[in-house]
Structure formats: structure tokens, C-alpha cells
Amino acid sequence: MASPPTAPAPAGGTLRRRRRAAAVLFLSPFFVLFAVVTVAPVVYAGWMSLYRERSSGLGFGGVERTFTGLSNYAAVLADPAFRTSFVHVAAYCLVYIPVMIGGALAAALLVDSAYARARRFFQLAFFLPHAVPGLIASITWIYLYTPGLSPVIDWIDAAGGSWNFFSPDHALSSVVNIAVWQWVGYNMVIFFAALQSVPREVVEAATVDGAGAWRIALGVKVPIIRSSVVMTVLFTCVGAVQLFTEPKLLSDQAQSLGNDWSPTMYIVSKAFVDHDYASAAAASLLLAVVAGALSFVVTRIGKRWQEA
């Protein structure tokens, strides 16, 4: 009696190995680039923050690197300028985040409303400021803030008012204005894209129940896109902690801003003005810890809001 033919070996294992090999092949460039651009600098900054360079002898014996442990972190935390820079950023966030998020959400709701016309035009018009590089935008706003050059100041003077964008009382609002102008359109596009996923039958049901435009916008649409709002607030908070371009360019005219107004300005000043690279490395890692803690807090609050 002939034995039954042997079934061919399953090719599942080979297929899985090929898939893993393809995944490794496509993911390797990202991980290599991430290690070189992100991980290696962080590790080097951590190593640098534990040492301090001192001149040996009378300065003719060169420079020696001495292990100091956590003393650089203690010195940075004890520096009033470093602590005050976070106070400045906190004040900036209290003004900037509500204005920017509220403006972007209002613009997205208006463009998404049933009464909106020329939606593509307004989407492009809102987004265009974000397409302008931050450096160019800041220089443009400096021109608009400068007395004798700015048509805005001429209009304020002609109306009988008075405003100094570089004064200590108005410097914060000047920085916030530049950031809002640049980022409100970008976040409006994110909110508008999220609003496109709102089920139209839900909106129609609310309309049939007698809900007006305001009720539909705030009671139906906004709760549905809460995840997008939380994500935007998270990215905005992390970006606000790293604020640099706007206050740096305004600091030449607005003396109240100084060279260490924000944490990133403090780090740059320590590294390239004072040439204290150890303190700059320690401050940068402390800033990373603050940004990570802030991200955690915002994420936790956002999850509670979404579950409510």
C-alpha cells in the first residue's frame, strides 16, 4: 500500500522572516538618524554637564576638565536668571495658548459652518502666515513695531492713541502677537481637518432638535474633536517652552527682554556669550525634563477631559 504524499512545508515562517527583514530595512535609516541627531547629542550633553573646564596654573598650562558631579545643575538652579526665564515663559503661555487655541478653533468652526463661503480661499489665507519663515516674520514685525517706520504706529498716533511695542509693559504682548500670527492658521487647518470627521447625521439631528449654530459648534462639534484640541495644546506647550526666535530678535529693541528672557535664550547666552558649556548643557537637560513633565501633565489632563 502506497504511503500518502508528503505535504509541502508551510511557508509561513519564511514569509514572517522576510517581513521582519523588510521592516528592519525600512526602519533602520530612521533609527540611525534618530540616534545620531537626538540620542548622541543628549548623551554628550549629559556627559558635558558633569564636568567643568578649569585653567591649570596661571593659565599657561592649558585647560583641564574636572569632574564636578551635579554641581553644574545646582549652580543653574540657583541662578535667578534661569528661574526667572521660566516665569517669563509661564506668563507667555497664559496669554499665548488661550488666544492661539481659541482663535484657531473659532476660525475652523467659522470655515466649517454651513454659512461659510470660499472655504479654500480662507484656509489658504489663514495658513499663509505659517508658510513665512519665523525669522522673516519676526523681522517684518520689528519693522511694524518700530516708531518712525511703522504705519501701524502712525495710524495709532493719528487716532489720538499712543503705543510703544518695545516698552516693558507691552513687550510680552508683542512677542505673543508674532507667535499667534504665525501659528493660528496652522492649528486652524488641524482643527478644520478634524471637523471634517464629525458625522453630519449628528449635526443634522442636533439641528432637528432645535439647536442653533452656537450650540452645535460648542456642544456637538468641539467635544467630538477633543483629541485634536488636546494634541494641539500639547505641541503648543512644548513649543512655548522652547521659545527663542521672537524674543531674541526683539531683545535688541526691547531692552526689558534681555539676553536670558526665555530658557533657550539663557542656554544660548551661557554657551556662546559666557562660553560656559557645562552650565549650558545642564540647563538644556533641565529644560528637557521640564518639557517632558509638562507634556505628561497636559496629556493626563487631556485624557480626563476626553473621558468626561
Tell me the pLDDT tens digit for each residue of 8-48: 545 566 878 888 888 888 888 888 998 998 889 889 989 98
213 has a pLDDT exceeding 90: no
295 within a domain of the structure (yes/no): yes
> Domain range for residue 205?
76-307
Least confident of 18-27, 56-65, 297-306: 56-65
Average pLDDT over residues 280-303: 87
Average pLDDT over residues 185-192: 88
What are the residue ranges of helices labelled H in the chain?
Answer: 12-34, 40-48, 71-78, 80-112, 119-131, 134-145, 151-158, 171-195, 200-208, 213-216, 222-224, 226-241, 245-250, 263-272, 277-307
Same domain as 83, residue 62: no
Among 67, 101, 127, the domain-final residue is 67
Cβ atoms of 246 and 175 closer than 8 Å: yes
Among 43, 67, 91, the domain-final residue is 67
- What total of structural domains would you count in the chain? 2
State residue 66's pLDDT score.
83
Same domain as 241, residue 121: yes
Q: Return d(Cα 14, Cα 8) in angstroms, integer.
A: 13
16 within a domain of the structure (yes/no): no
**First-to-final CA distance of the chain:** 72
Same domain as 128, residue 217: yes
pTM: 0.81
Q: Return d(Cα 94, Cα 172) in angstroms, integer.
A: 11
Query: The C-alpha cell of 205 is what?
Result: 439631528
State residue 267's pLDDT score.
92
Among 67, 98, 124, the domain-final residue is 67
Same domain as 154, residue 173: yes
| Phi and psi at residue 98, to the nearest 5° | -60, -40
6 has a pLDDT exceeding 60: no
297 has a pLDDT exceeding 90: no
Per-residue b or e along 189-217, where b marks 16 or more CB atoms closer than 10 Å to that residue's CB = bbbbebbeebeeeebeebeeeeeeeeebb
Same domain as 212, residue 158: yes
Same domain as 262, residue 138: yes
